[in-house]
Copies of this chain bind each other. A is one copy, B any other.
Amino acid sequence: MGASLSDVANRAGVSTATVSRALRGLPSVAEGTRLRIVRIARELDYTITPSASRLASGRTHTVGVVAPYVNRWFFGEVIFGVEEVLRSRGFDLLLYNLADATSRDRFFDAMPLRRRVDAVAVLSMPLSPEQAAVLSGLDVPLGLVGADAEGFACVRIDDVAGAGSAVRHLIMLGHRDIAHISGGGPATHSFTTPRDRARAYRDVLEDAGIGYRPELEAVGDYTVAGGERAMSALLSGATRPSAVFAQSDEMAFGAMRAIRHSGLRVPEDISVVGFDNHELADVLDLTTVEQPVAEQGNLVAQILLDLVESGGEPPPTMTLPTGLVVRGSTRPVSPR
A238 located at the interface, meaning its Cβ lies under 8 Å from any Cβ of chain B in the complex: no
Pick the contact of A71: B1, B90, B92, B294 (CB < 8 A). Answer: B294
Taking a contact as CB atoms under 8 Å apart, the answer to whether A87 and B97 are in contact is: yes
Give chain B residues whose Cβ lies under 8 Å from the Cβ of A97. Answer: 79-80, 83-84, 87
Q: Count the copies.
A: 2
A240 located at the interface, meaning its Cβ lies under 8 Å from any Cβ of chain B in the complex: no
Give chain B residues whose Cβ lies under 8 Å from the Cβ of A79. Answer: 70-71, 95, 97
A51 located at the interface, meaning its Cβ lies under 8 Å from any Cβ of chain B in the complex: yes
Encode A103-118 as 1/0 by CB contact (under 8 A) with B. 1000000011011100
Stretch at the interface among A52-60, A141-149, A267-275: A52-60
How big is chain A's contact interface, by range? 35 or more
A95 → chain B closest CB, angstroms: 5
A224 located at the interface, meaning its Cβ lies under 8 Å from any Cβ of chain B in the complex: yes
Pick the contact of A116: B50, B83, B253, B282 (CB < 8 A). Answer: B50
A35 located at the interface, meaning its Cβ lies under 8 Å from any Cβ of chain B in the complex: no
Known: A115-B49, A283-B253, A284-B283. A71 touches B60 (CB 8 A): no
A80 → chain B closest CB, angstroms: 4
Encode A70-105 as 1/0 by CB contact (under 8 A) with B. 111101110110011001001011111101000100
From A51, A54, A93, A96, residue with most partner B Cβ within 10 Å: A51
Taking a contact as CB atoms under 8 Å apart, the answer to whether B71 and A115 are in contact is: no
A257 located at the interface, meaning its Cβ lies under 8 Å from any Cβ of chain B in the complex: yes
Complex-state Cα separation, A112 to B65, whole angstroms = 19
A47 located at the interface, meaning its Cβ lies under 8 Å from any Cβ of chain B in the complex: yes
Give chain B residues whose Cβ lies under 8 Å from the Cβ of A92. Answer: 94, 112, 116
Give chain B residues whose Cβ lies under 8 Å from the Cβ of A54. Answer: 51
A278 → chain B closest CB, angstroms: 9
From 227 to 261 in chain A, residues with beta carbon under 8 angstroms from any chain B beta carbon are 253-254, 256-257
A279 located at the interface, meaning its Cβ lies under 8 Å from any Cβ of chain B in the complex: yes
Complex-state Cα separation, A103 to B256, whole angstroms = 39
Give chain B residues whose Cβ lies under 8 Å from the Cβ of A84. Answer: 97
Q: Considering only CB atoms, which chain B residue lies closest to A51 in the complex?
A: B54
| Residues of chain A having any CB pair with chain B under 8 Å | 1-2, 47-52, 54-55, 60, 65, 69-73, 75-77, 79-80, 83-84, 87, 90, 92-97, 99, 103, 111-112, 114-116, 139, 224, 253-254, 256-257, 279-280, 282-284, 294
Q: Closest 4 A-B residue pairs measured CB to CB?
A: A51-B54, A71-B76, A71-B80, A51-B55
10 A–B contacts, CB within 8 A, in A order: A47-B114, A51-B55, A51-B115, A75-B76, A79-B95, A87-B96, A92-B112, A92-B116, A93-B95, A280-B280
Other CB < 8 Å A-B pairs besides A92-B94, A253-B283, 11 of them?
Answer: A47-B114, A47-B115, A49-B55, A51-B55, A51-B115, A71-B80, A71-B294, A93-B94, A94-B95, A280-B280, A284-B284
